[in-house]
Amino acid sequence: MTRTSLFGVYIHIPFCHHKCDYCAFATWVDKNQLIDEYMDALVSDINRTDIQRTDTVFVGGGTPSMVPGPSLVNVIQQLPLADNAEITIECNPDDVTVELMTAYVRGGVNRISMGVQSMVPHVLKTLGRTHQPDNVVRAVSAAREAGISSINLDIIYGAVGESLDDWRTTLEKAIALAPDHVSAYGLTVEPGTALANRPDDYPDDDDQADKYLLANELLEDAGLTNYEISNWARPGHECQHNQMYWGQGNYIGFGCAAHSHQDGRRWWNVRTPERYIDCVSKGVSAETAGESLDNATRNREALELSLRTREGVPASALPVDELDDLVEQHGDHVVLTVRGRLLANEISLRLRNR
């Protein structure tokens, strides 16, 4: 099955223990009293939606792991899951126990994505994270013991005060945990976040470039292959759900602020959990807005997304002879070099629709 033919489901859990300084997602730390009602609304919403087959499920947030395991598994099991469906749940290391992971495995969950961000205490503090590096080690061990078959570690580089040696420490300690997948993202400043109000803490582009190159070097040496600019995986552990996104596949989002896509039409749900619960309880759509893309726009987006992956784009889509060492050609396709990945946004401006 190709990534474009996969059908995915995204489930948004908007509850958090603590709002990280860089987070702009639809999450709340003061609405935990709504958890049971919200989970019931997710079940009702899924059951009133016509879905033929679900190939990938991604439960994100927020902090899905703060919801009782059986309750979250019950929501997932309402879906018509394909036999080999990839089911991912985002987890906070502080929440992970063998018991929680065992509940996930019994419910068919086979992949977790752990929000590590850094393995250096002062960097975690700068990011507004509350866990400690030792909790990451314990959490990965618990997930393995319970039988989770694929573990991703999310890490972030570029926080103010994070030296190159700090970043190397994070990478080396993450690699020592033998993850199946690593997502490494440059810190970005989003409007409305705590970080946005601290200009002195904004990341430096040159610093982030150096840290990206170090990440690629150490992760590749450890057997994790880059398959999208910010993602590295051991063979067979590439995230199918993300590949579905990058291939412009169809998916439905459940929960507040969740996005959906169907054949060029995108739409998104009401932003708050209260409004989502209210819509479902009244039997009306939770959609709040949407847009339809014309063919030219879809084709352009397809090229931009594919450029970021190891599949690359047709050679005819770029002026290859003008890009020197930023791209390399493989047959009739071109892919970004490591240096080219640092300039992906600029290179995408040179794309031309076929």
| CA dist list (Å): 201 to 157, 164, 195, 212 | 13, 16, 7, 19
Looking at the fold, whether 154 and 92 belong to one and the same domain comes out as: yes
Looking at the fold, whether 196 and 314 belong to one and the same domain comes out as: no
Q: pLDDT tens across 36-58, in order?
A: 999 999 999 999 999 999 999 99
Looking at the fold, whether 330 and 230 belong to one and the same domain comes out as: no
Say whether 328 sits in a helix, a strand or coil.
strand
- The mean pLDDT of the chain is 95
How confident is the model at residue 21, as a pLDDT? 85
Tell me how crowded residue 280 is: count the other CB atoms within 10 A of its CB: 23
245, 263, 283 - which closes a domain: 245
Q: pLDDT tens across 256-297, in order?
A: 999 999 999 999 999 999 999 999 999 999 999 999 999 999
Would 164 be classed as within a structural domain? yes
Return the closest-CA partner of residue 184 out of 91, 113, 111. 113
Looking at the fold, whether 239 and 343 belong to one and the same domain comes out as: no
What are the two backbone dihedrals, phi and then psi, of residue 248, each rounded to the nearest 5 degrees? 60, 35
Would 285 be classed as within a structural domain? no
How confident is the model at residue 354, as a pLDDT? 55
Let me know the angle formed at the C-alpha of 221 by 320 and 124, rounded to the nearest 5 degrees. Answer: 100
Range of the domain at 315: 296-348
Split at pLDDT 50, 70, 90, the class of 353 is low
Looking at the fold, whether 223 and 324 belong to one and the same domain comes out as: no
Compute CA 88 distance to the chain's CA centroid, rounded to the nearest angstrom: 10
Would 264 be classed as within a structural domain? no
Looking at the fold, whether 151 and 231 belong to one and the same domain comes out as: yes
CA distance 233 to 226: 7
Looking at the fold, whether 214 and 334 belong to one and the same domain comes out as: no
Looking at the fold, whether 36 and 180 belong to one and the same domain comes out as: yes
Query: Looking at residues 158-169, what average pLDDT do you find?
Result: 97
**Contact assessment for residue 154 and residue 183, using Cβ atoms and an 8 Å cutoff:** yes
Would 256 be classed as within a structural domain? no
> Is the confidence at residue 79, as pLDDT, over 70?
yes
Q: For the chain, what is the domain count?
A: 2
Split at pLDDT 50, 70, 90, the class of 130 is confident
106: enclosing H helix or E strand: helix 98-106
Would 280 be classed as within a structural domain? no
Query: Looking at residues 196-214, what average pLDDT do you find?
Result: 95
Would 286 be classed as within a structural domain? no
Task: Output b/e per residue, 219-251; b: 16+ Cβ within 10 A.
Answer: beebebebbbbbbbbbeebbbbbbbbbbbbbbb
Split at pLDDT 50, 70, 90, the class of 122 is very high
Strand order in the sheet with 231-233: 225-228, 231-233, 181-186, 150-157, 111-117, 81-91, 54-61, 7-13, 250-254, 259-262, 265-269, 287-292
Looking at the fold, whether 106 and 27 belong to one and the same domain comes out as: yes
CATH assignment of the domain containing 197: 3.20.20.70
How confident is the model at residue 128, as a pLDDT? 84
Q: Which percentage of the chain shows pLDDT scores above 70?
A: 98
Split at pLDDT 50, 70, 90, the class of 83 is very high
How confident is the model at residue 292, as a pLDDT? 97
Say whether 70 sits in a helix, a strand or coil.
helix
Would 86 be classed as within a structural domain? yes
Looking at the fold, whether 237 and 303 belong to one and the same domain comes out as: no
Q: pLDDT tens across 231-263, in order?
A: 999 999 999 999 999 999 999 999 999 999 999
Looking at the fold, whether 233 and 314 belong to one and the same domain comes out as: no
Q: Which percentage of the chain shows pLDDT scores above 90?
A: 91
How confident is the model at residue 1, as a pLDDT? 45
> Is the confidence at residue 18, as pLDDT, over 90?
no
